[in-house]
Amino acid sequence: MYSFKSSNIFFQSYVRPELLEDLQQLFFFHPNQKKYRKQIVSAIEKYGKPEIKMEENKVSIWLANLAINQQSIMVFDKLNPHKILAVLIYVKEGQLIKIIHIAIQSDLNEIYHEADLAVLTEIMELFKAMVSKMKEVFLIQFEYSKLQIAIN
């Protein structure tokens, strides 16, 4: 266990094939999935079923019904780059970034001294900083909760 530092967090749009099983476990078999079942089903009906995509030794997750403007982001820590901390799938809809699916390691407090919420908050701050560089994006919205984060 070690202290969380946001400067150690990095995003990648893919994982290496040797992390495929970890990615599947985190995203498709998450222990909190039951809690969000209704929202997950609604998102699948609207955007399509998430599918594993492998190209040139890069594994990512894509939504079947969206051909463009979607991205999957895997979150890692430089001090432990073999463990996926979180997965986000988002789509750009005009001035809005909509996080369609998000899966966060359920054992973050076993990895870090800090509570899960502190780590999630830092991940979202870094995500916000990343998408704020996109032209004409002013808002991040979560599909599951309708929570919105303004981008200054």
pLDDT in tens, 5-23: 667 889 999 999 999 999 9
Distance, CA of 81 to CA of 35 (rounded, Å): 28
The string of pLDDT tens digits covering residues 62-103 is 987 876 778 899 999 888 888 899 999 999 888 999 999 988
pTM: 0.84
**In order of start, what are the domains of the chain with their CATH numbers?**
6-150 (3.40.630)
* Bridge partners, residue 58, by sequence: 55
Residue with tokens 């997965």: 87
Distance, CA of 74 to CA of 15 (rounded, Å): 7
Taking alpha carbons only, the member of 100, 90, 101 closest to residue 131 is 90
Distance, CA of 112 to CA of 115 (rounded, Å): 7
